Structure 1
Amino acid sequence: MRIMGLDYGDRKIGVAVSDLFGWTAQGLEVVERRRDGSEMQRIADLVREYEVEQIVVGLPKNMNGSIGPRGEICIDFADKLKEMLELPVHLWDERLTTVSAERTLIEADVSRKKRKQVVDKMAASLILQNYLDSKTKG
């Protein structure tokens, strides 16, 4: 069963998918957000192409655990996905995943230009991997 992980940002959506066993997450692509909402169609296309059965959307919480305006936007996005795709959509605490992805890329000496291209995809992979790991421990 494949699971898709999404890192929903202001301008881009990082996309990752699990392997068939639901053990590992791989970054797939970064989808640009558009005024016409066509990013939803791209996500639907990827869901079909990879035969995704569940989706995990990163939920940015404040450090005290509360949900701010950014989190509310992600909840709204997750609700739209659930309605459109008729699949289970889970919200996953993503605090510091983008920071962690950025730090990993810096440590790997990836140039700033390249980092901008892959950080969202890597953040989506981290969100999904953390979710997958929590399921195998439970």
Structure 2
Amino acid sequence: MIIEMYVIGFDYGTKRIGVAVGQTFTATARPLTIVFVKNQQIDWQPIHALIQEWQPDAFVVGLPKYADGSDSLVTIAVRDFCQQLQARYQLPIHTIDETLSSVAAVEKILLKKKGRGKKDPKIVNLDAVAAQVILETWFSLD
């Protein structure tokens, strides 16, 4: 039996955090937005607004790893972000190896862009699509 849950996914970066939302029942996700990080300070207001809007049951955060599986330089910052999420919202946090999520996001964008004009407003930021890929990968593991 599949339990329906809403999940917010994050693709953490040192300058931008991609955000997506997904549903476990349909195992689908869609990109939402990006949140900016300035001087290593996260703008929590847009994240809080999205959490209020979607009322997620859990978070999924992409954990950057090197190809050999070892931690990358950004891994510490991602773990700190997870601790901050936990302290603020007390929801379950799942991490997943995000290796190649940006490559998959570029492929999704290029497929969507094919046949459209350069300034199509439906083309979403790469980081948000990477968060979508992170959620879709997490759904496929369950």
Give secondary structure in 1 for the equivalent of 2:50: helix
Other-structure match for 2:11? 7
Greater fraction helix: 1
Q: What is the one-letter code of the residue matched to 1:120?
A: D
Other-structure match for 1:24? 28
Structure 2 gaps, min length 5:
none
How far off is 1:100 after superposition?
Answer: 1.8
Aligned equivalents of 1:2, 1:41: Cα separation in 2: 20
Given the two structures, how large is their TM-score scaled by the length of structure 1? 0.84
Given the two structures, how large is their TM-score scaled by the length of structure 2? 0.82
Asked if the contact 1:44/1:85 (under 8 Å) is kept, the reply is no
Aligned equivalents of 2:128, 2:139: Cα separation in 1: 16
Other-structure match for 1:125? 132
Give secondary structure in 2 for the equivalent of 1:6: strand
Aligned pairs for 1:1-138 within 5 A: 1-19=5-23, 21=25, 23-35=27-39, 37=41, 39-109=43-113, 111=118, 118-135=125-142
Q: What is the one-letter code of the residue matched to 1:41?
A: Q
Structure 1 gaps, min length 5:
none
How far off is 1:34 after superposition?
Answer: 3.5
Aligned equivalents of 2:127, 2:134: Cα separation in 1: 11
Taking only aligned residues, the RMSD between alpha carbons, in angstroms, comes to: 2.6
How far off is 1:123 after superposition?
Answer: 0.2
How far off is 1:52 after superposition?
Answer: 0.5
Asked if the contact 1:22/1:132 (under 8 Å) is kept, the reply is no
Q: Percent identity?
A: 32
Q: Which stretches of structure 1, 4 residues or longer, exceed 6 Å deviation after superposition? A: none
Asked if the contact 1:17/1:26 (under 8 Å) is kept, the reply is yes
Label 1:102 to 1:37 Cα distance change in 2 as closer, same or farther (>3 A). Answer: same
Label 1:131 to 1:83 Cα distance change in 2 as closer, same or farther (>3 A). Answer: same
Asked if the contact 1:78/1:89 (under 8 Å) is kept, the reply is yes
How far off is 1:26 after superposition?
Answer: 0.8
Aligned equivalents of 2:102, 2:113: Cα separation in 1: 17
How far off is 1:108 after superposition?
Answer: 4.7
How far off is 1:66 after superposition?
Answer: 0.6
Label 1:36 to 1:18 Cα distance change in 2 as closer, same or farther (>3 A). Answer: same
Asked if the contact 1:2/1:51 (under 8 Å) is kept, the reply is yes
